[in-house]
Amino acid sequence: MTGHTIAFGLALALALGLTPLLGALAVRLGAVSEVGGRNVNTREIPRLGGVAVAVATLVPLLLLFVQRNHAAHLNTVEVRAVVGLGVGAALSCVLGAIDDVKRLPAKVKLGGQLLCALLAYVAGCRIGLLQLPLLGPIDTSWLSPVLTIIWIVGITNAINLIDGLDGLAAGVVFCAAATNLVVAAVGGHVLVAVVMSALMGALLGFLFFNFNPATIFMGDSGSYFAGFLLATSSLVGNQKASTAVSLMVPMLALGVPIFDTIFSIIRRAILKRPVFSPDRGHIHHKLLDLGITHRRAVLILYLFSALLALSALLMSIGRDWTSGFAMMLASGLIFGLFRLASSIARRHSLRPPGGPP
């Protein structure tokens, strides 16, 4: 039995067992998602499910890591990276869990994310040499800390922003993790493949309780953990930073949360609102505004994520950056059309009878 299978199975079993326990603990601590505002739930839902995902992911990795027969596949650089990856992911989960319980200020959360990203960079999870189409290789060593931290913090918050419907963030991350798993397995990156296998098993177990109608949410603890793990695992061994294609593969696989984040930043800048301020302008809210049911909206975004993941895999195999760029552009246009259509529908529904067109 391979390390991938062991990691997936153990993580799945742990998530199935731990998620209900964390739900009960969240209720006792008052870490629940309230009704109203930007939330779409119609009753209070516990929010600490991400802790179950984190424990279910990290425990199998720790068990496999300490086994000599598995650690033998890792060199010294990867050992340092996996320690930084695991510690940073755990700290990200702790930061999110505290926010789930006590609601931290945005500046405190951002500061914590920056520290976790810096830890990952020091451990060796970093963006190095870039080889861009038409421009050739570019030495970005002097920009490496900034680019790496922006990547990690950006992906972390992108996953957090997309976590607005039952099972949405978990499903989107699952598709992205599956993409990273296949790319890593084909490229011989054992560490990344095992990490992604554990994450997928934990998410699948969690989805048994999180898919609509959800009995528990992952909360910031889960979105911070999953976002950090996706971002950093792609950086281990510089596998994502050597060519434009390897840069675009994870970006394309995470197209749904990335595009949603870009549109959110633009929207809040136009409205002169803080970047981290919550609102009901995300893509999942727009789908609901069109009259699409909660479950169908999630399934539509699952389909988008799966198609983007498939495109990322095809681009990785064919090493053709132009197809990836075209797919990202098309996805951005589709997202824009969804937002435009939902805005028109919302304005029409709010117009008083007999009022001006």
Q: Is residue 26 a part of any domain in this protein? A: yes
Residue 33 DSSP SS3 = strand
Kindly indicate the confidence band of residue 337, based on its pLDDT and cuts at 50, 70 and 90: low
What per-residue confidence (pLDDT) applies to 63?
Answer: 83
Distance CA 155, CA 145 (A): 16
Mean of pLDDT values over 294-315: 79
Task: Please give the residue range of the domain that contains residue 285.
Answer: 3-350
> Cα-flanking dihedrals φ and ψ of residue 32, to 5°?
-130, 150
pLDDT tens string 88-122: 999 999 999 999 888 888 889 999 999 999 999 88
Phi, psi angles (nearest 5°) of residue 277: -75, 135
* Least confident residue range of 128-132, 204-208, 240-244, 329-333: 240-244
Look at the block and give the residue holding tokens 């779409």: 40
The answer to whether the beta carbons of residues 52 and 19 sit under 8 Å apart is: yes
Q: Is there a domain that residue 357 lies in?
A: no
Residue 206 is which amino acid? F
Number of domains comprising the chain:
1
> Each residue of 213-252: pLDDT tens digit?
888 888 899 999 999 998 888 887 444 434 445 566 777 7
Among 255-264, 279-288, 295-304, the least confident range: 279-288
As a whole number of angstroms, the distance between CA 292 and CA 299 comes to 11
Tokens 């739930």 correspond to what residue? 41
Instruction: Provide the CA 344 distance to its chain's centre, in angstroms.
Output: 29
Specify if 237 maps to a domain.
yes
Whole-number mean pLDDT of the chain?
76
Q: Is 137 helix (H, G, I), strand (E, B) or coil?
A: strand
Nearest to 28 by CA among 17, 44, 42: 44
**Which tokens in the block code for residue 87?**
């510690």
Share of the chain above pLDDT 90, in %: 22
Q: What's the pLDDT score for residue 350?
A: 45
> How many beta carbons lie within 10 A of that of residue 5, not counting itself?
12
Residues 337, 165: Cα–Cα separation, whole Å: 20
Instruction: Report the C-alpha gap between 19 and 196 in whole angstroms.
Output: 19
Size (the chain), residues: 357
Q: Please check whether residue 85 lies inside any domain of the structure.
A: yes
Please name the residue ranges forming H helices in 211-293: 219-233, 244-253, 255-270, 283-289
Task: With cut-offs at 50, 70 and 90, classify the pLDDT of residue 147.
Answer: confident
Comparing CA positions, the residue from 337, 323, 115, 129 lying closest to residue 235 is 129
More confident residue, 237 or 173: 173
Distances (CA, A) of 165 to 245, 268, 327: 31, 21, 25
* Whether the predicted pLDDT of 201 surpasses 60: yes
Per-residue confidence (pLDDT) for residue 249, from 0 to 100: 72
Per the CB < 8 A criterion, the answer to whether 198 and 15 are in contact is no
In a domain, residue 355? The reply is: no
Q: How many helices (H) and strands (E) does the chain have?
A: 14, 4
> Can you list the alpha helix ranges (DSSP code H) found in 43-105?
49-66, 68-71, 76-102
Q: Is the pLDDT of residue 51 over 60?
A: yes
- Low-confidence winner among 70-74, 88-92, 129-133, 306-310 (lowest mean pLDDT): 70-74
pLDDT given for residue 268 in this prediction: 67
Domain assignment present for residue 356? The answer is no
268 exposure class (CB count in 10 Å sphere: 0-12, 13-18, 19+): middle
| Cα distance between residue 310 and residue 328, in whole Å | 12
Whether residue 152 is contained in a domain is answered as yes
Under the banding of pLDDT at 50, 70 and 90, the label for residue 310 is confident
pLDDT at residue 242, rounded to an integer: 45
**Percent share of the chain, pLDDT over 70:** 66
Greater pLDDT, 179 or 251? 179
Q: What is the distance between the alpha carbons of residues 30 and 149, in angstroms, rounded to a whole number?
A: 32
